[in-house]
Structure 1
């Protein structure tokens, strides 16, 4: 299967409200349409995760990120432009997303992915994509496809074929929270 066919299949599943497993710019992820509350609820259920713990979303561009945050502070753009490692930014004023995806304080965690597969997937899907590590809550994140627990493979609607053979170290993204006055809090290095 070509990467293009893989992405086409994944997008069809996402548009139907399904849940996928896919490679990202960091670890393997469990994903769904970030605007579909039922799909988001399924991701929490699959991970056995408390829905009070927020999930990260991937987007393909600055323009797409702006669709999901009321006002992106200038410091966020400076940070996004400066970082080398994949970095997730938590921003206030989340909009146009499933309510059960938005944190209690109204914030959302977003990352612009530049990795070819996840970037193209987000571009073709044309919406924010939930990206939470492919593991049961509390277990280690799946760095490679071979690390994914069989119960997760059985629980989702589609498992991407791209990058399944890869065996190299991957780490979760850095997470930085930006406050309304530009305050910076490092959540995960």
Structure 2
């Protein structure tokens, strides 16, 4: 695992794209603070850049560096959720401008996967996590279902957990700074 983290860090630090196993499905990732890298993700996925992307952080402490104000309910959800849960926060900070949609929000998940946590902790910045598919196509349930176009379009494919099957993306909840909570995806 340590060698895979080093290989992946090298690519992320150069503004490259990675294909990696997450706590949910296989994801395309890059540095969430690098506008050029984020453009490459949108191009690879053939996705409209007005559609939001999810970012992963290693822990609550890191989360606090990228959201202006974290609502109290978010702390409980992160701690008590029994499956990976992405929260959409108001007023993100310190990330690439082209990652923030017009409504000034950002979807962030505290990663629960060991590889992701170690990678992000060593990278010291959030990374993008978007499903490894062309926009509009089904999300791959396993590594073997990832399209060749995606495999060829990234700069590095992590060589871990390729046998893992996971068809369930994270839950998504929007928590406004006014304490409103809305379930986007169960």
Q: What is the TM-score when the length of structure 1 is the normalising length?
A: 0.96
Q: Which residue of 2 aligns with 1:180?
A: 177
| Distance in 1 (alpha carbons) for counterparts of 2:158 and 2:38 | 19
Shift of 1:53: 0.3
Q: Which residue of 1 aligns with 2:61?
A: 63
| Distance in 2 (alpha carbons) for counterparts of 1:5 and 1:151 | 26
- What CA deviation, in whole Å up to 9, does each residue of 1:73-95 have, x standing for no partner? 11111111121110000000100
1:15 to 4, 13, 16: 13
- Gapped regions of structure 2 (runs ≥ 5): none
| Distance in 2 (alpha carbons) for counterparts of 1:91 and 1:105 | 10
- What CA deviation, in whole Å up to 9, does each residue of 1:130-179 have, x standing for no partner? 0000000011112221111001000110000011133x333100000011
| Distance in 2 (alpha carbons) for counterparts of 1:64 and 1:123 | 9
| Distance in 2 (alpha carbons) for counterparts of 1:88 and 1:78 | 13
- What CA deviation, in whole Å up to 9, does each residue of 1:33-86 have, x standing for no partner? 000000000000000000000000001010110110001111111111121110
Structure 2 SS opposite 1:131: strand
Q: Which residue of 1 aligns with 2:77?
A: 79
- Gapped regions of structure 1 (runs ≥ 5): none
Flag as ranges the 4+ runs of structure 1 deviating above 6 A: none
User: Where in structure 2 are the equivalents of 1:55-134 lying within 5 Å?
Assistant: 55-134=53-132
| Distance in 2 (alpha carbons) for counterparts of 1:120 and 1:101 | 23
Shift of 1:108: 0.4
Q: Which residue of 2 aligns with 1:25?
A: 23
- The number of aligned residues is 186
Q: What is the TM-score when the length of structure 2 is the normalising length?
A: 0.98
- Root-mean-square deviation (CA), in Å? 0.8
CA contact (8 A) 2:15 2:30 kept: yes
- What CA deviation, in whole Å up to 9, does each residue of 1:88-142 have, x standing for no partner? 0000010000001012111100000111111111111110000000000011112
| Distance in 1 (alpha carbons) for counterparts of 2:34 and 2:104 | 17
